[in-house]
Each structure stands twice: as structure tokens, then as C-alpha cells.
Structure 1
């Protein structure tokens, strides 16, 4: 039953609703149109002039809204007469690329250090190995074994070694079936380049591949404890051979 005020009118709880600025209104509605599927991947948005007319705002306001959507990874802007604003495909792979791009810029600016990125990556990799042992599929095992075979066929000075290492760790993260963790691990490997800071001689390279083989076997057997411990020992071993970061 509704309560009454002293003058007999019904009482209700009201709170002020923030009024969006014109730029926020434009951004919000275009974002919703993209996320709801009204605009599909690759669709070109109406021109800034047409959007300004539809929203009843200036072209400068539309331009600000579109730039915010570019920064959020929802659209890309192509210059030229045949260009315009195009809808991007947004999934966990795009998330990984966005994280990688932003973190690379922040590293270049010196706001964070490579060792901070590496420490965060290590924190994610151990639970990824655990989840991989729980959730891996047969396809995950095939992909992991294929990378290991390529690692076994390379020498420590082969330029493909860092890429193979990053691919193996990214595949372990994918096998976790947690796409957010996988996106971050892949991005962090692209940014931090861990082997660039490891004193990798022939023995260290061989030992790292042996670790990968054992880890793959534990994941295959759904051995959660072994996978967790093997990843921990692998990271500890590699970090023990780290050299000073520039």
C-alpha cells in the first residue's frame, strides 16, 4: 500500500536522472545500434553530416562521439573519399589486440615497466594451466602438440623460437576455455616478449621444451595439480635465467 504525505498525496521515492550531454547521447545510441546488431561488421555508418542532422547536433559533437567509439574499438575510421566510419568486429580476439595496443603505448610512454607486465602475465599463467587441465578439448591437445613438434625441430638461435613460445603459452590459455584470460595472456606475451629478457643458451632452450612436453601431458591427463605445479616451476626456471631489462 502506498504511503501518504501530510497533504494526503501518495509518496514515492524519486531520484534525479543525469542528463546526458549531446556527445554522450550520440555515442550511446550508436554504441547500442552496433551491439544490438542494427549495424553489422564492416557496415559503414552514415556520414558525420547526416548523423549531425539526425541527432540535431553539430558535426563537431558527432566527431567527438565517433572518436570515443574508435578508442573503444567498436569502429574504425578510414580517410579519403571512399572512407568513413566502419563497424569493427568485436570479440575476445579483438579484446586481446586492444589490450596489446594500449599496453604497448603505455610501455613506450614509460608509465609502466616490462617487469610489471611480466609479473602480471605470470600470475595469469598458473591458473590458466589449472583450468586447461580441467577443460581442454582434443583440438587443444592437437594444437599444443603441433607447436611442441615445431619447437623440437628448432635450435635456440632460430628467430621463430620466441613466437613458438608465445604460441604455446597462448594455446594453454585458450585451453582453459576462459576467453578473457586467454585474451590477456596472448596480449601480454605480444607486449612483454619474455624470451627477449632470458639468457637462453642451448640447455635452457631444451629444458624449456621439456617443460612444455610435461605440461602438455598433464593437461592431456586432466591432472590439475601437476599442470599447476609444472607451470609454476617452468616460470620460476625461466625467471631464474632472466637478465636485466633495459
Structure 2
């Protein structure tokens, strides 16, 4: 009788830490552990898995780094399950981006170029896929921008909301996660000299973007976004902020009010 060849292959034996990590990860992804659930204490987990507390700590540290677990407030509050969706991706990207910016391993030029790569296609896709709900949110943000002044502390948040909502309208949640992370962590064009004229022009650009997206004009929306980003860079150059001519974050007052119809 001929031998029958079976499609079996040797599997590597997992280390205890990896076994613990994989089981907890599987429980989160399948829903046995839900968003907001608190994990048992290290001692209880060590007993359940029959491993040392050091092994449990290694596994939990890896799950925290991957964004599946988050530390609660205080030193004794424990670890909690964090939602697994594009919002959790945005949080994870924000944390990593914040760290690399803090230690200076990413240059301002790289941040600026990355913004172009994200936001121009984001505007194009938004014009193709936007919903009435997206338009209503963008309209509301512009109304708030137009009713305030360039030095209002609320301006940075309104700006982040506007650009994030354009990304949401793209119907690409990965893109939306990265745009949101960029605006809330890197704060594009942060050190640009702010004044009333910059505020008026910036909100005028937002209105132009809104109109192109509403008209479902992908090319017009992409051009409007590129023009907006170019203007901010040129303004940085004109005000002697050469390091920002190639990009960095945005701080209060970059996009103030403008009396203009949508």
C-alpha cells in the first residue's frame, strides 16, 4: 500500500509569554473580553495560566503596546480592554507619533510631507463619498470658526475637527485614523505666526473645501486642500519660520473667523 502524504507541518512551540498574550488577544478580538472590561489582577492571571507573574507582566506589556489594553488612572486601578476599531488605531498612532516627535527622530519636513500625502487624497475621496451627515458636520464647524476670532483657544480643536471630518467623509477608516492622529498629536504648522489675515484666508480655504466636497468635485477638493497646505507653508516662509516652511504642527489661532457665505 502506498504511503499517503498528509499536509502536516511542524509548529513551533510557543513561549509561555506568547501563549498568555495570544489567549488574551483572542478573547478580546472574539468579544469574550469587551471594551472597558477590567482584567483580573496579575496574581489571578498567573494562577489561571499556571505561569509566573513576570510572564504575565511581559504579556500584558505587549498587549498595552499593541493598543488592546490601557492602564486605568492611578497606580492601583488595573488594566482595561480598549476598543478594537479605527479609533483605537488612531490612539495607537497618536501615542507613537507623540513619542517620536518628543525625541526628535522625525523631522518637521517629514511631518509636512506626510500631511500632504494624507490630506490631499483625503479631500478627493471625501468629494466622492461624502454623506449629508458629513456635510452637516463640516458646515457646523465652519459656522463656529466664522463666529470666533483668530486668538480664540477653541480654534485648534475646531481645525482638527474639520480636517478629521473630511477624512471621515473619505469612507476610508484607516486614512481617517491617521489624519486624526496627525492633527491631535503633531498639530500641523504649529509655530506659524498667526494673525487676522491668516485666519481669514484659512477659513476661506475651509469654505472652498466644503463647497468642492458638497459639489462632489474630487479634483476641485484636492486642489483646494493642496492650495491650503501650500498657503500655510508660504506664510511660514514669509514670516521667517524657515524650519516650518517644511512643516510642523498647528497651535491656537491658525484658522480664525471669516464673514463669508458657504
Q: Same fold (TM over 0.5)?
A: yes
Indicate the residue corresponding to 2:229 in structure 1: 235
Matches within 5 A, 1:41-120: 41-78=35-72, 83-120=77-114
Question: Are the aligned partners of 1:114 and 1:192 in contact in 2 as well (CA < 8 Å)?
Answer: no
Q: Of the candidates 109, 123, 126, which is equivalent to residue 120 of structure 2?
A: 126
Cα drift, residue 113 of structure 1: 2.0
User: 2-side partners of 1:34 and 1:144: how far apart?
Assistant: 34
Distance change >3 Å, CA 226–CA 102, structure 1 → 2: same
Return the TM-score normalized by structure 2.
Answer: 0.84
Q: CA RMSD in A?
A: 1.9
Indicate the residue corresponding to 2:214 in structure 1: 220
Alignment coverage as a number of residue pairs? 239
Q: Deviations over 1:151-202 (max 9, x none)?
A: 1122222222222222211111111111111111011112222242323332
Residue 42 of structure 2 corresponds to residue 26 of structure 1: no
Q: Of the candidates 182, 192, 211, which is equivalent to residue 188 of structure 1?
A: 182
User: 2-side partners of 1:167 and 1:46: how far apart?
Assistant: 37
Residue 133 of structure 2 corresponds to residue 139 of structure 1: yes
Question: Are the aligned partners of 2:120 and 2:222 in contact in 1 as well (CA < 8 Å)?
Answer: yes
Q: Of the candidates 166, 170, 174, which is equivalent to residue 172 of structure 1?
A: 166
Q: Of the candidates 242, 245, 249, which is equivalent to residue 244 of structure 1?
A: 242
User: 2-side partners of 1:66 and 1:192: how far apart?
Assistant: 28
Indicate the residue corresponding to 2:249 in structure 1: none
SS of aligned partner of 2:99? helix
Q: Deviations over 1:58-94 (max 9, x none)?
A: 111111111111111212234666x333212222222
User: 2-side partners of 1:180 and 1:221: how far apart?
Assistant: 24
Cα drift, residue 12 of structure 1: 4.5
SS of aligned partner of 1:40? coil
SS of aligned partner of 1:196? coil
Q: Of the candidates 10, 13, 25, which is equivalent to residue 16 of structure 1?
A: 10
Indicate the residue corresponding to 1:37 in structure 2: 31
Question: Are the aligned partners of 2:42 and 2:56 in contact in 1 as well (CA < 8 Å)?
Answer: yes
In our comparison, the structure showing a higher alpha carbon Rg is 1
Question: Are the aligned partners of 1:162 and 1:195 in contact in 2 as well (CA < 8 Å)?
Answer: no
In the alignment, structure 2 segments of 5+ residues that lack a partner are 245-262
- Give the structure, 1 or 2, with the largest relative contact order (CA under 8 Å, sep 6 or more): 2
Return the TM-score normalized by structure 1.
Answer: 0.89
In the alignment, structure 1 segments of 5+ residues that lack a partner are none
SS of aligned partner of 2:190? helix
Indicate the residue corresponding to 2:259 in structure 1: none
SS of aligned partner of 1:117? helix
